A and B are shown apart, each in its own frame.
Chain A
Amino acid sequence: MSRYRRRRIVNRAMEGVATVAAMLAVGVLAIVVVSVALRGAGALSWEFFTKSQALFGQPGGGIANAIVGTVLLVTLAAAMALPVGVLTAVYLTEFAPRRVAVPIQVVLDVLAGLPTIVLGIFVYALFVIGHTQSGLAGAFALAIIMLPLVARATQEVLLLVPATLREASLALGVRRWRTVLGIILPSSVGGILTGTVLAVARAAGETAPLLFTSSIFANTVQTDVTKALPNIPVLIFTYSEQADPALHEQAWAAALVLMAFVLVASVAAKALLARSRRKLAG
């Protein structure tokens, strides 16, 4: 009887510990969101979004140039990473023999795990030394970060496409490549978009590679990608180093904007994926 009781108590205790751990995870996010919001909300205003950074020592100003720059950077990075990532996934799931696919898979996983500062210094050595910082170099570094994420997400959704669909197309006498293009990719477009959105969300906040490649920028809107592009992560970093408390508040506000973007993107990605799953299931 006592043994029975002991088991029951241990069971309860473990359930309690697991629940607390889960709540802790949620709690961490909640604390981060709330504290960033509390400190940053005060600086949010229409001007904050529409005006560029104020000149040194002057009050006011916003982060419009950094928003434009970040959008440009991640768009460029996505344009580079999306085709390569999707094609990599197509190769791995549709064409590669197992003995080739497995090592490539490992390489992709390693790439996904590389510290971003390493990528930053690599791209710095490749493009910036001897030239100048540029949006292109920054986007290239971000693209390397996105590539394995896009490839992995695409691979997962390609594997969801039933083998019977491939058979149906091949049995019509359609070439494999046309089958991929006409049947398999259209069936998985939702999942690919989801992966891309998540990768964009991840890349939008990456700071380390941009410190090397796109950190010395003008305080005006810059659309020339051969020059360093203003961007939110580096702006947050620089402002938080300043002595002016107004700039600290702006750093928090910029962090809030970035975080809001990531949260919205994640939720949107989830919804997209659910929709495409339903579509595939009929």
Chain B
Amino acid sequence: MTGTFTMAPVIDVAQARKEAEPVQREVVFDIKGLTVTYGRLTAISDVDLEVYRNVITAVIGPSGCGKSTFIRCLNRMNDLVPGARIDGRIMYHDEDLYGPGVDPVEVRRRIGMVFQKANPFPKSIYDNVAWGPRVLGMKKDLDERVEKALHDAALWDDVKDRLKKNALALSGGQQQRLCIARAIAVEPDVLLLDEPASALDPIATSAIEELMHELKRDYTLVIVTHNMQQAARVADLTAFFSLEVDDSRRTGVLVEYDLTEKIFTNPSDKRTEDYVTGRFG
């Protein structure tokens, strides 16, 4: 386990460091004191974090540390969970995401999401991608838009001859890329990926990871993953969440947030080191 982050992608990480010097980057999300509770259960507590533009930010940590809860706050998907309560503040381009008068539907339009399990609509491949733009009134040059989204999701060559076929006939990896195409077809500003490759085989996984590098040019990406090598391979910045046990109450906290290279080779926190070296989690 100790050798894993000295694998090939180190070059990428080094590059990323040059590209992604946080101080020069525009801040997309400025999160302060984010606390999420479900009834009496506190899922994450007091998280401070900044997400930068055109950077891939990975969120790693053991199961139940609130990674998914965290990412679902960024596009207000947690609003759909009955009993979820969000405290603290998330500024998105200097606008309070949870401010009064902010429409969560509009938030989700600009901040897209790809889920753990590929969830294409039971429609044709074309309609899967075209449906969002159609409903949202982006009907002009729809065919071009669909083609571009499928291109950007590296799926066009696989499906260009069978756009009218049912999307459920695609393989798991193709379905997940279709979901990415569907998400980017409505031209979001940010793409959130909640363990996008955890249900995929290694080849499909590497396709998704390559794709993320491509997408970085146009989008800001936040990826939740329980696969540390994946974070090491794709992310510029990595946030490590852990569980704090207090009075047998388990709460997710942000332990460390830094350049991916630093998190994996020279973490400042003992807990991060234990996790990335495989001693825990």
- Chain A residues with CB under 8 Å of chain B are 98, 162, 164-165, 167-175, 178, 182-183, 186-187, 279-280, 282
Contact = CB atoms under 8 A, between A and B. Distances in A.
B132 A174 contact: yes
Contacts of B110: 173
Nearest to B192: A171
Nearest to A179: B135
Interface residues of B, number: 31
A173 B183 CA distance: 10
Contacts of A183: 121, 131
Interface string B222-247: 00000000000000000000000000
B122 A182 contact: no
A171 B117 contact: no
Contact of A173 (B80, B106, B123, B168): B106
A175 B168 CA distance: 24
Contact of A172 (B80, B120, B166, B186): B186
B80 A162 contact: no
Interface in B133-186: 135-136, 166, 168-169, 179, 182-183, 186
Contact of A165 (B108, B121, B135): B121
B213 interface: no
* 6 A-B pairs with least C-beta separation: A173-B109, A282-B168, A164-B119, A171-B113, A172-B132, A173-B108
A187 B131 CA distance: 14
- The binding surface of chain A is classed by DSSP as helix
Nearest to A167: B115
27 contacts: A162-B119, A164-B115, A164-B117, A164-B119, A165-B119, A167-B80, A167-B115, A168-B115, A168-B119, A168-B120, A170-B80, A170-B108, A171-B108, A171-B115, A172-B132, A172-B136, A173-B109, A173-B110, A173-B112, A173-B188, A174-B135, A174-B136, A186-B123, A187-B121, A187-B122, A282-B166, A282-B169
B119 A182 contact: no
Given A174-B132, A282-B168, A282-B169, A168 B106 contact: no
A11 to B, nearest CB: 44
Nearest to B119: A164
B136 A280 contact: no
A171 B112 CA distance: 6
Contacts of A167: 77, 80, 113, 115, 119
Interface in B56-108: 75, 77, 80, 82, 105-108
Nearest to A166: B80
Nearest to A172: B132
B122 A172 contact: no
Contacts of A186: 122-123
Contacts of B186: 172-173
A91 to B, nearest CB: 17
Nearest to B120: A168
Nearest to B169: A282
B121 A168 contact: yes
A136 B169 CA distance: 47
Given A168-B182, A171-B113, A173-B136, 7 more contacts: A165-B119, A167-B115, A169-B121, A171-B115, A172-B132, A174-B105, A183-B131
Given A168-B179, A172-B109, A174-B135, A279 B75 contact: no
A171 B131 contact: no
